[in-house]
Amino acid sequence: MTSSFNVQSATGYEQLMGRWSKQLAPLFINFSGLADGERILDVGCGTGSLTFALPHAADLREITAIDFSPVFVEAAIKANTDPRIRIQQADACALPFADDYFDRALALLVLHFVPKAEKAVAEMRRVVRPGGVVAAVVWDHFGGLPGMRMVLDTAAMLDENADQVRARYCFQPMMRPGEMIQSFAAHGLVDIEQTSLMIRMDYQSFADFWQPISAGEGPLGKYVSALEPAQRVKIDAAVKAAYEAGQPDGPRSFAAVAWACRGIVPEV
Ligand SMILES: C[S@@+](CC[C@H](N)C(=O)[O-])C[C@H]1O[C@@H](n2cnc3c(N)ncnc32)[C@H](O)[C@@H]1O
């Protein structure tokens, strides 16, 4: 298996995550760096949160975006109006590009959904020229995403299977402290730096928070949509109570922290 990402629809993804990855993209670009005239590869572009932010940050020569999901590729192609942007279906673990072609390869919220994430890092390094940059961001599901932890911690009290789901969710590839640094170093990248990037996920109401998960989007959506109806009713109600936390339903804001790592391809 080359992708563990659960895709239902592009609009559902926008509601679940695209609206937040759009906020994270400029922070990631700032961390990764960008210069006029460069060729950039966006690995795992999804609906294009990073792809479409890139031309606002520099006067780039070429932006190539790939994703494993044909649903997302089709949506991103439809949304594109910039002739410098090329979007295609491809696997991060077998990038269909020549060695040293790009100035930077960037992956926003992707590597934790690639079961063989090491292979994707190796491929990103291969297609970047000496002196160029490889950079990636993954959510810190264990310690940095309290809104989503709230769902799985609540479910784990009511459903013994949720324990395993939580274990997998908290420790997806590249999420452990220092894991990306070690991987980047193992692939020969140098001058490696890691930081935490933070945004806030602001919801209008419980329905705004729960609707995309309830509709089956993403890893939590996959879990809740497989529940027996009676169990589902219990878990929906318990998560709503956790969201409300003893106050009337309404807006809530959750911090969301991601690990970001960048390294340079050594000059030969
Ligand atoms: C959480 S989404 C992030 C999408 C986008 N970068 C964003 O930030 O909104 C994860 C993406 O990784 C893609 N993905 C997972 N495994 C992949 C692989 N092996 N090759 C290419 N894309 C992959 C999924 O299809 C999905 O679009």
49-80 tens-digit pLDDT? 999 999 999 999 999 999 999 999 999 999 99
pLDDT exceeds cutoff 90 at 7 = no
- Cα-Cα-Cα-Cα dihedral sign, residues 114, 170, 176, 206: positive
Spacing of C-alpha 268 from chain mean position: 32
**What pLDDT shows up at residue 8?**
78
**What span, in angstroms and rounded, lies between the C-alpha atoms of 172 and 185?**
19
Q: Which of 66, 68, 87, 222 to mutate to test the pocket of ligand 1 (most atoms within 8 A of CB)?
A: 68
In the chain, the percentage of residues whose pLDDT exceeds 70 is: 100
Ligand 1 atom at minimal distance to the Cα of residue 69 = 25
**What pLDDT shows up at residue 39?**
98
Query: Is the beta carbon of 106 within 6 A of some atom in ligand 1?
Result: no
Element (H or E) spanning 48, and its range?
none
**Beta bridge pairs of residue 65:** 42, 87
**Beta bridge pairs of residue 133:** 104, 264
pLDDT exceeds cutoff 90 at 20 = yes
Burial 7-36 (b: 16+ CB within 10 A, else e): bbebebbbebbbebbbbbbbbbbebbebee
In the chain, the percentage of residues whose pLDDT exceeds 90 is: 96
Ligand 1 atom at minimal distance to the Cα of residue 44 = 22
**What pLDDT shows up at residue 1?**
78
**What pLDDT shows up at residue 167?**
96
pLDDT digits (tens, 9 = 90+) for 96-111: 999 999 999 999 999 9
Instruction: For the sheet with 252-264, list strands across it.
Output: 85-89, 62-67, 39-43, 102-108, 128-139, 252-264, 190-203
Q: What are phi and psi of 115, to 5 degrees?
A: -55, -40
Packing angle, helices 218-225 and 160-170, rounded to 10: 170
pLDDT exceeds cutoff 90 at 176 = yes
Its pTM surpasses 0.75: yes
**pLDDT tier at 234, thresholds 50, 70, 90:** very high
Q: No. of H helices and E strands in the chain?
A: 11, 7
**What pLDDT shows up at residue 102?**
98
